[in-house]
Amino acid sequence: MVDRKKRVEHIPHELIDLVQERVAQGKAYKSGVAELMAINAQLLVFERRASKLREAERKRRVGR
């Protein structure tokens, strides 16, 4: 796709292996990026929980 439009290109027989490898590399890259995004989202969830726990602990100390 180019500019959100599908394009069809003829691939010469001698380039099929190269094109298939590049497509596989692109898929691996996208998969890696998606995995990193999921990890970052989970880290944000953990940090939010930790922050809430720290705040609750701080309030308990102040209330004593």
What is the reported pLDDT for 25? 98
Specify whether the CB–CB gap between 19 and 11 falls below 8 A. Answer: yes
What is the reported pLDDT for 47? 97
Please choose, from the candidates 43, 41, 23, the residue with its C-alpha nearest in 3D space to the C-alpha of residue 31: 23
Answer yes or no: pTM beyond 0.75: no
Low-confidence ranges of the chain (pLDDT < 50): none
What is the reported pLDDT for 1? 76
Rounded Cα distance between 63 and 32, Å, is: 47
What is the reported pLDDT for 64? 64
Residue 11 CB contacts under 8 Å (≥ 6 apart), including other chains? 19
